Structure 1
């Protein structure tokens, strides 16, 4: 990694850039992310840079093309201050970007200061609002992320799983109206979670592999649900979630109810596509059943304002799951910094 980064930076600067130290920031089994310390500060670069290698495993994001997608997204956001600045990259390989520092919002959530965590979460929400208000919608991703780019393709799987498992069937839900709403698109992050927002002088987003042109509600719903795709899922206090949503909406000049309802309904469908796994006897993770119920209840509240039949069905499903699964009756865990409040 270091020789390639040095070569790219030498070509960029026309100077003999050398790497003198490195520290690992990410999982080498996923996508190696390393902070490289340079021999001295360089104009427009600084003393450290972040180098991100090619994804080494195939997962929900896929693998082919996604490093190009991050490079493309960083270039799209150049000069906005919303993300690191792309310095150099090898197509399908190494990406070198400016170092936006630390901490992440995740670090605050795992800490002991609820006020600091709340400020970080509100800054994260403002960042999402600024992104959706200011970033150009004219973005073409390097690769499709099917569950985000074509989420309603999951509907037949959802309907079949609900039927097979004996849960309440969807009635005349507003699927066509939801499909129409999803056609309103802009630039989105795609994985808007606490580990992907860094706080220094301002909030900036990182890890843009899943960026794409989609309905902004797919990012915004992460603030309400919260974070449905997050590996360390937990819930936030209601007053914190409300403050985050107010901060997000304050950055926009759109109908926030429709935006949030569309995003939450869509994420509920995405999560329900995993219903067979969640219901399986081999599925031993209590959190999954607690999470799907909490997601459905939150989606019912948000979506019901615009899609009342969807909202009623989500609530009915959540009630049925609580009756069937003892684990689903447990209160969801809260993030560490709020657990003693």
Structure 2
């Protein structure tokens, strides 16, 4: 096993770190890697009996000359900020950290399991209450942290350099221009009015005003843990990309398919959109105002669709029938639909629909009735 040596070293480092933190000997009895992530569950032996913890570490990817150490720093700052500064139990607690060694030791939230696994196994209808809990948790995160950027960045800056302006625009900002070039090559350049609306959308996202809140910047069903039975108490995970950004980015998953899904259903009809919005409005009263909420949500959804559009060349190279093709069509059309529902960014929404129509012609295999709930029910997975 190629990682056996590294696992042994990490196991020893975790034991030493917890021994030092607790002042009593702690041993790691079992180490189980949670593939494909740089995460493991460690079973400990120490005072008080066996327990398990979750360990995260810095991973270097093949294209990198150095690991992304800022990811663990962001996660440590975000989780500490939530638990210690805001007193919010929406995420795991940090038990110990050694940033020089690139290790975080977190509270193990088992037997909770990832929502996406439940959705794939049973379908969305069987877990409506858990989807609602996820929606509320995302809204609660925004409500609890809005207006607190100064406190978070003081904590984050103590761990290393950080760029709050870059955080506001999200971790994928560099992909937007490439997406525009892909659309232009496809035959759908952004006309003047649509380009002006895109600029307005980016201005909204760059300066969220009262909607500026902490996000893990990856609000998707794989990053929320819930009990498979019993009360649906949600816990959000994976804060490596955390930062203060427009709170409505955390609502995009309700309206537009993420990477794992072909569809997300009707969040208005199911009440999920209202679950999120009411929770957010507890701390951000402007969320109750359609004139403030609609443009922000439209901007966040269309921005996500544009970011996904930069994958066009990759999808061109895939074989006919690959589900990522209709998924991109669904993403563009769902984002446009959301903007239209709030009568926001109409020309940009029209442009997204034109791009989707061009993709349907380019890929006949993607020219499907994505609105058919029998073929594409809520949270139909992209297999």
TM-score range relative to shorter protein: 0.7 to 0.9
- 170, 175, 181: which one aligns with 2:204: 181
Q: Distance in 1 between matches of 2:26 and 2:377?
A: 42
Distance 1:151 1:53, change over 3 A: closer
Task: Specify the alignment match of 2:296 in structure 1.
Answer: 259
Task: Specify the alignment match of 1:194 in structure 2.
Answer: 221
- How does 1:33-182 map onto structure 2 within 5 Å? 33-39=39-45, 42=48, 47-57=51-61, 63-78=68-83, 79-91=87-99, 93-101=102-110, 102-112=112-122, 114-135=124-145, 136-138=148-150, 139-140=152-153, 149=170, 154-167=175-188, 169-173=190-194, 174-182=197-205
Name structure 1 gaps, 5 residues minimum. none
Task: Specify the alignment match of 2:277 in structure 1.
Answer: 249
- 306, 321, 336: which one aligns with 2:359: 321
Note the C-alpha offset of 1:150: 6.8
Note the C-alpha offset of 1:310: 0.7
Asked if the contact 2:15–2:26 (Cα under 8 Å) also holds between the matched residues in 1, the reply is yes
Task: Specify the alignment match of 1:273 in structure 2.
Answer: 310
Secondary structure, aligned partner of 1:35: strand
Note the C-alpha offset of 1:221: 0.8
> How many pairs does the alignment contain?
329
Q: Over aligned residue pairs, what C-alpha RMSD do you find?
A: 3.0
Distance 1:134 1:168, change over 3 A: same
- 5, 22, 28: which one aligns with 1:19: 28
Q: Distance in 2 between matches of 1:337 and 1:314?
A: 22
Secondary structure, aligned partner of 2:58: coil
Structure holding more helix per residue: 2
Q: Distance in 2 between matches of 1:285 and 1:146?
A: 36
Distance 1:16 1:220, change over 3 A: same
Task: Specify the alignment match of 1:293 in structure 2.
Answer: 329
Asked if the contact 2:180–2:306 (Cα under 8 Å) also holds between the matched residues in 1, the reply is no
Asked if the contact 1:224–1:241 (Cα under 8 Å) also holds between the matched residues in 2, the reply is no
Note the C-alpha offset of 1:113: 5.6
Q: Distance in 2 between matches of 1:108 and 1:52?
A: 23
Note the C-alpha offset of 1:307: 0.9
Note the C-alpha offset of 1:236: 3.0
- 235, 248, 259: which one aligns with 1:217: 248
State the TM-score, normalized to the length of structure 1. 0.85
**1:236 corresponds to 2:272:** no
Note the C-alpha offset of 1:115: 4.0
Note the C-alpha offset of 1:180: 2.0
Asked if the contact 1:277–1:283 (Cα under 8 Å) also holds between the matched residues in 2, the reply is no
Note the C-alpha offset of 1:71: 1.5
Note the C-alpha offset of 1:2: 1.8
Distance 1:155 1:195, change over 3 A: closer
Greater than 6 Å deviation, 4+ residue runs = 144-147, 335-339
